[in-house]
Chains A and B, each alone.
Chain A
């Protein structure tokens, strides 16, 4: 495909022209902070849903009652009143429980989609939503490859609801509520580098227990949440067809082309209009005059 190269060249040209602050410049500057995340070891999860309860309490959402509500019977998605849910899957290795929530992508589609930066990748990694900026366009919902952001349709002033990795608790130096609530250490909090080391070590020391893949290492460009599993990830509700390209990448060519077109096309059009201007009449005959001429013709 030549187009890629063309656009690349065009992109470079425009980046030079528009300076470093090109409209599309989204490159991750190297910050001293490392992105944080959580490692989920699905082989340890017992499906007690303490994390759901802790999350609901930490964020003023309706608190589920895991003993009686029978929610594990069906596979659920997160919702505007539940930032995280635990699902049960019947697999080759028997029952497996999987916690689901925002993946806190390294290059989040939702934040790239957001035209007000209401969805924001913070410097330490959590992707948060800011109510004073959001206009409720829901483009983040369209773009997220994991279908995570949810909208409060039944409210006159709807919020976009998704896991924020307990941003407010992190500010106070605490760990996310779900992590602290987990009775089996299925959830481990840390920087992605630490988590990758822990995950690899678990696979190496128990090569028969785990599939040799860490979900989230590369998916959609890499995510803050990482998963270990005893069975192939398709069997426990993960999409494995999302690719390893960061999602903002898909619109980058287009965005790079915009400044080029914005400055190039008018010049081209203007030049063309000068070429076609045979009688040097500028904009050409006034439509009003044309109208009247037409009118005379009509009268005859």
Chain B
């Protein structure tokens, strides 16, 4: 960073950040080519939505007050972000050092997931300008589950931001800030896990009062516990999938030795197998307890069986199998399947089996889907920006330093 030596430090820092904001080559990758048009269209739709109202772009109706932005982005997205608290628990509370190399990136992922997915809540608010009301006390709806969920989202985002901040301090070469921020980690982690437990289950508790509207195969007074347990293996599955994808596309930024990354992956698979089995078992018990045998013969029953066997038990067994045989392929398949299973479960509770007797069925418009994808893709862009600039992964040695013109040394090494 030769430029910073001649200018005052603060100005230098700004220039450094400014330089780092710019995209890095190669720019014309397939991911960019596909995501940019979607994001642009998504933004246009959002502008339209805020001018002409939700009805102008969505198919929301009076029977389906929440659509895919809530059911997919918020409710499912937050479950997928469960990996952060699950790993924080493993690394900081149980102190299994094995997982330390991926803890930073997982927390980053969790942080961004919350910013974007919990943030997607705002897109679906009819009157988002009043969003601060429950925070500033106009009024505090203490007796509302959503009030708790909203507060926990907010606090969790702050906690996650602080958990991520040492890496940013390190990037900015702020050594003192790094030490101070890093010292707070354990406290933040403990706080973060507690908040996660409460809002993951809180998302389920949102549906407790919708008892007469949800199909009896999906409604249970234990929805909060089901949501919490499934967020554990959904989160772990996402860590596995994300690790696989980054391993392929961000290879030059990741310096985790092969053997160690395999050990981590199979450890995660084992964890996911146990958590998803617990979930499956609990679902089974609930079914036996409620005894809706007669409903199994209906179309809804079939759909329920697909979810429980095809998308819960099957991935669970595959995780176990993949772990036993040390097979990367099987573990990855299991992770994708299990994500699909949690997605279907959340959509069932919030949309598909919700108001199942209604004649005004809700199907999202293409515009709602584009916006949903936009939220995900922007998150991926931001994630990629962070991990390619800062040390979220243990870096290969060469990549840690930047050359004078800001090109990471890794690239030079690679092309040399």
Contact = CB atoms under 8 A, between A and B. Distances in A.
Contacts of B150: 115
Contact of B53 (A26, A145, A156, A277): A156
B62 A136 contact: no
A254 interface: yes
B183 interface: yes
A135 B197 CA distance: 26
B367 interface: no
A147 B63 contact: yes
A277 B93 CA distance: 9
Given A269-B194, A294-B394, A153 B139 contact: no
Contacts of A150: 62
Interface in A265-289: 265-266, 269-270, 272-273, 276-278, 282-288
Nearest to B130: A135
Interface stretch (B31-39, B209-217, B229-237): B209-217
Contacts of A157: 126-127
Contact of B60 (A80, A139, A153, A276): A153
Given A112-B144, A247-B209, A269-B193, A135 B186 contact: no
A17 interface: no
Given A109-B209, A154-B53, A294 B146 contact: no
Contacts of B89: 269
Given A132-B138, A290-B100, A276 B93 contact: yes
B134 interface: yes
A177 B395 CA distance: 72
Contact of A251 (B55, B60, B145): B145
Nearest to A137: B125
Interface in A6-63: 23-26
B224 A116 contact: no
Given A116-B141, A251-B145, A136 B126 contact: yes
B270 interface: no
Given A276-B94, A287-B104, A294-B256, A136 B128 contact: yes
A38 to B, nearest CB: 23
A240 to B, nearest CB: 11
Contacts of B124: 137
Which of the listed residues A80, A115, A139, A295 has the most CB atoms from chain B within 10 Å of its own CB? A115
A47 to B, nearest CB: 23
A198 interface: no
B65 interface: yes
A141 interface: yes
Contacts of A247: 209, 211
Interface residues of B, number: 83
Chain B binding site: helix, strand, loop or mixed by DSSP? helix
A298 interface: yes
Nearest to A77: B62
Nearest to A140: B65
A283 B148 contact: no
Given A282-B186, A294-B260, A295-B394, A135 B133 contact: yes
Contacts of A154: 52-53, 55-56
Contacts of B141: 114-117
Interface residues of A, number: 74
A62 B66 CA distance: 27
Interface string B201-229: 11001111111110000000100100000
A84 to B, nearest CB: 15
A258 interface: yes
B170 interface: yes
Contacts of B224: 254
Given A134-B130, A294-B101, A115 B144 contact: yes
Nearest to B51: A156
B63 A254 contact: no
B415 interface: no
B391 interface: yes
A250 B104 contact: no
A226 to B, nearest CB: 20
A23 B185 CA distance: 28
Contacts of A232: none
Interface in B153-208: 170, 182-183, 185-186, 189-191, 193-194, 197-198, 201-202, 205-208
Nearest to B358: A147
Contacts of B15: none
A116 B100 contact: no
Contacts of B134: 115-116, 135
B320 interface: no
Interface string B72-107: 000000000000000001011111010011011000
Contacts of B138: 116, 132-133
Nearest to A138: B65
28 contacts: A23-B148, A77-B62, A113-B144, A133-B139, A135-B126, A137-B126, A138-B126, A143-B210, A151-B126, A153-B53, A153-B58, A155-B55, A156-B50, A157-B126, A158-B53, A160-B126, A242-B212, A250-B208, A250-B211, A254-B224, A266-B190, A272-B94, A277-B95, A285-B97, A291-B101, A295-B397, A297-B257, A298-B397
Across chains A and B, which 10 residue pairs bring their CB atoms closest together, nearest first?
A: A136-B126, A153-B55, A291-B394, A115-B147, A136-B127, A141-B65, A138-B65, A117-B139, A154-B55, A135-B130
Given A26-B142, A254-B145, 17 more contacts: A114-B144, A135-B128, A142-B210, A151-B65, A153-B61, A156-B50, A156-B51, A261-B198, A265-B197, A269-B93, A272-B93, A283-B186, A287-B104, A291-B391, A292-B394, A294-B255, A295-B397
